[in-house]
Amino acid sequence: MARFGILQLLVLFLPPVWAASNSKTSLTLVFQNNLNASDDANHVGFILLDLMDQRDAAGACAAIGESLVSRTSIQTHQADFVHSFSYLVYAGTVHPGQSYYIQNGTVTMAEAGNGTTFQSVPAPGRELPVLCTQSSNQDQPGTAVATKSNELTISSGGNTYIGFRNQKSFRFLGIPYADPPQRFVYSTLYTPTGKTINATAYGSVCAQAGSGSEDCLFLNIQTPYLPKPNSTARLRPVMFWIHGGGFLNGAGSDPASDGGNLASREDIVVVTINYRVSTLGFLAIPGTNITGNYGIADQITALEWTIKNIASFGGDPSQITIIGESAGAGSVRTLLGSLPAKGKFQGAIAMSNLGGGVDLGLTRDYATTYSSYLTVAASYARAGQNIFAAAGCNQTDLAAQIACLKQVPALTLVGYSSAAAYVVQDGYYVNTEELDVVNANGSAAYVPVIFGVTANDGASFATYPSTPVANEAAGIEASLGISASAAQAIIDSGLFPYYDTGNVTLDAFNVSQRVATDNEFRCVDQATVYAAARSGAFPAAYFYQMERTIAGYDPNHLGGPPATPGFPAGNPHLPYFRLHGSDMPWVFGNLGTLREPADLFSIQLTTAYFGAFVKQGDPNPAAAALRVRGYDTALEAIDATGPWDPVSGVDGPIRLMDYPAVASGFIDLPQCAWLNYSISYYLDGGS
């Protein structure tokens, strides 16, 4: 029995298989990222290690599958080196005038100015930080694949995580933050310990029409920094992304929200999460313990995991900004007013949150539920009953009905045409009908916020007529799905003037999309920040409108501006609709194809604003930070246009995001008043 073969003996006496980790030194991935995807190949990164003796330097690099950086590599990427290390000095990560061990000696960056000097013989016995190569050069989320040479392990909360790195960041994907959830039961924090978690591939998306599973409560982390175990030195602020998808679909693995570019560009940690959606996330049945908001509760569980563990991944648990778009923005708004979420984040950004004003017969009722929450009974009346019927679970006894529904396969359940996709007033996660921004320190968390819209969010929700229309009224009627008299009332108001390009269908649609943008997005969101500014509900409330975008949610197949000579990817100087969701590349810096340089410059500017907000709760980056890092385009724009001020009164101000981004007053206030969503809506008590 106890006979060892030669192989077993070898295994016993060989040193343990080497595993790259942060056990002996912190790891900082330094990459000077200009967000120009086609330029990635022209840049190199570095991995910065802690102080050590020169004798240990080469081995420490080898331990992560790299080698000491060569003098030539620094010389050929001098600007990248100087900018990124000047920034680390600025940020207090390294000392001014610091020397680093590199191949065959040291490199020292001059304390003032930008020169570097190389020395081949370092002072003996000196401990210096070490610069290793960073050779994992996959630059896009889709091409970032773990291999033996780019994997590394870290420990957190009693578990070991295997992650990997690409050109932009360290990546830990598919981390289970909760125990596998039971159907219609609130999630609880992941409990196992002593596990090795393979965090090199995304976990399953949550069950949604066509794909996913119920075991889906995973999150993903992109980080520039992995501290030594239990170290809390130099932790980076955290951006916590909550995806959209109408509470029906979506996932944290969406490449559009990949945080790698932000991690390197803004030196922050990005967390993206899955949460339960559709009927599995939001079913609510009156008189039972199925009280809904499972998806919202999952978001809070993910926040709790983040607070508990993120320091091990380089993130500061006391500096978390929650951010989401569409239903993600609706989630942010919900969390702002949720008692169980209070104190779990320090800033909030809601991109294109929905909320309805007047019932124009639009998808208005649908939009309304994002900001004015249904009761459990109302949710059940809309969705619950139909779901039981669709499942054939509509026996008379409710307990039997629920037991029956629990047996329906997940993908069948979320495949019905009726789905529960509403935040409800469950009395615990949500205990008010609306976010209370009228009363200072009412239900709302006291944190700085940014709200904003794309210029034409409503163009994704109004319907482009399937056949040409004869006149404006007919076009509005068709694209908003409203009566002839309601369409005529819009025209008669004189507030939504017809802009004549000679294409009646398009021009009528243009009127409709403005009505839809105001009625479903702009009015509620402007009113929210205005009321908050008046009441002091938040320490500061900022507002933006995205003026330059690409793609987005386009059920009408409107497309972008046409190509013209010199603009093969579309000419952004021609008219086009800034659709819902089309601002994602501006916030994450993930744009593949530029139409013109200003696309890149405006992305560099937007990420600077949003990055600054994540770092300091104020979207205005310090000029010195931009200067040392060489973020010249952002610096020039900000110098030219002045600060982005918080909303302070009836005139805003708001920021029109383009290159540069300029200040403006609130937009369409008379239109919002006509839509019965006047700016004083909340102040008058709302309804």
Ligand X SMILES: *[C@@H]1O[C@H](CO)[C@@H](O)[C@H](O)[C@H]1NC(C)=O
What is the SS3 assignment for 413-474?
HCCCCCCCCCCEECCCCCCCCECCCCCCCCCCCCCCEEEEEECCHHHHCCCCCCCCCCCHHH
Q: Strand pairing of 225-226 and 170-176?
A: unpaired
Q: How far is the CB of 29 from ligand X (least distance, A)?
A: 21
Position among 597, 642, 665, 670 found at the interface with ligand X (CB under 6 A): 597
Extended beta strands in 366-477, E state? 374-375, 424-425, 449-454
The whole-angstrom separation of Cα 227 and Cα 486 is 61
Torsions phi, psi for 644 (to 5 deg)? -85, 105
Choice between 327 and 438, CB closer to ligand X: 438
Choice between 296 and 327, CB closer to ligand X: 296
> Among all chains, which residue has been given the structure tokens 């021009």?
507
Q: How far is the CB of 349 from ligand X (least distance, A)?
A: 20
Confirm or reject binding of residue 358 to ligand X (CB under 6 A). yes
The whole-angstrom separation of Cα 576 and Cα 566 is 17
Q: How far is the CB of 4 from ligand X (least distance, A)?
A: 25
Q: How far is the CB of 240 from ligand X (least distance, A)?
A: 20
Helix (H) or strand (E) holding 5: none
Position among 394, 418, 463, 571 found at the interface with ligand X (CB under 6 A): 394
Confirm or reject binding of residue 230 to ligand X (CB under 6 A). yes
Choice between 433 and 596, CB closer to ligand X: 596
Q: From 234, 49, 50, select the one nearest 133 (Cα to Cα).
A: 49
Confirm or reject binding of residue 117 to ligand X (CB under 6 A). no
Q: Strand pairing of 347-351 and 315-325?
A: parallel
Q: How far is the CB of 28 from ligand X (least distance, A)?
A: 19
Question: Over the range 253-287, which residues count as b (16 or more CB within 10 Å of their CB) and which as e?
Answer: bbeebbbbbbbbbbbbbbbbbbbbbbbbbbbbbbe
Position among 27, 52, 74, 82 found at the interface with ligand X (CB under 6 A): 82
Binding mask of the shown chain, residues 598 to 627, with x at each position contacting ligand X by CB under 6 A: --x---------------------------
Choice between 358 and 667, CB closer to ligand X: 358
Confirm or reject binding of residue 418 to ligand X (CB under 6 A). no
> Among all chains, which residue has been given the structure tokens 């709760």?
617
Confirm or reject binding of residue 189 to ligand X (CB under 6 A). no
Report the Cα 90 to chain-centroid distance in Å.
26
Binding mask of the shown chain, residues 20 to 59, with x at each position contacting ligand X by CB under 6 A: ----------------x-xx--x-----------------
Q: How far is the CB of 38 from ligand X (least distance, A)?
A: 4
Position among 211, 213, 431, 503 found at the interface with ligand X (CB under 6 A): 503
Confirm or reject binding of residue 568 to ligand X (CB under 6 A). no
Q: How far is the CB of 40 from ligand X (least distance, A)?
A: 9
Confirm or reject binding of residue 446 to ligand X (CB under 6 A). yes
Position among 116, 119, 198, 571 found at the interface with ligand X (CB under 6 A): 198
Applying CB under 6 A, the span of 164-172, 320-328, 505-513, 663-671 interacting with ligand X comes to: 505-513
Strands across the sheet containing 225-226: 116-119, 105-109, 99-102, 127-134, 45-53, 27-30, 225-226
Choice between 8 and 503, CB closer to ligand X: 503
Confirm or reject binding of residue 389 to ligand X (CB under 6 A). yes
Size of residue set near ligand X by CB under 6 A = 40
Which SS3 state, helix, strand or coil, does residue 157 take?
A: coil
- List C-alpha distances in Å: 627 to 210, 328, 392, 623, 634: 48, 33, 64, 6, 9
Position among 78, 117, 147, 407 found at the interface with ligand X (CB under 6 A): 78
DSSP conformation class of 391: T
Position among 10, 11, 19, 79 found at the interface with ligand X (CB under 6 A): 79
Choice between 249 and 556, CB closer to ligand X: 556
Structure tokens at 577: 């609709």
Confirm or reject binding of residue 499 to ligand X (CB under 6 A). yes
Q: How far is the CB of 173 from ligand X (least distance, A)?
A: 9
Position among 542, 577, 609, 666 found at the interface with ligand X (CB under 6 A): 577
Report the Cα 336 to chain-centroid distance in Å.
16
Q: From 238, 220, 221, select the one nearest 347 (Cα to Cα).
A: 238
Q: From 339, 382, 331, 374, select the one nearest 356 (Cα to Cα).
A: 374
- 380-382-387 Cα angle (round to 5): 70
- List C-alpha distances in Å: 140 to 167, 587, 684: 8, 16, 49
Choice between 411 and 558, CB closer to ligand X: 558
The whole-angstrom separation of Cα 268 and Cα 225 is 9
DSSP conformation class of 21: B
Confirm or reject binding of residue 506 to ligand X (CB under 6 A). yes
User: Which stretches of the chain bind ligand X, using CB under 6 A?
Assistant: 36, 38-39, 42, 78-79, 82, 103-104, 114, 162, 185, 198, 200-201, 229-230, 289, 358, 389, 394, 440-441, 446, 499, 501, 503, 505-506, 510, 536, 575-577, 594, 597, 600, 674-676
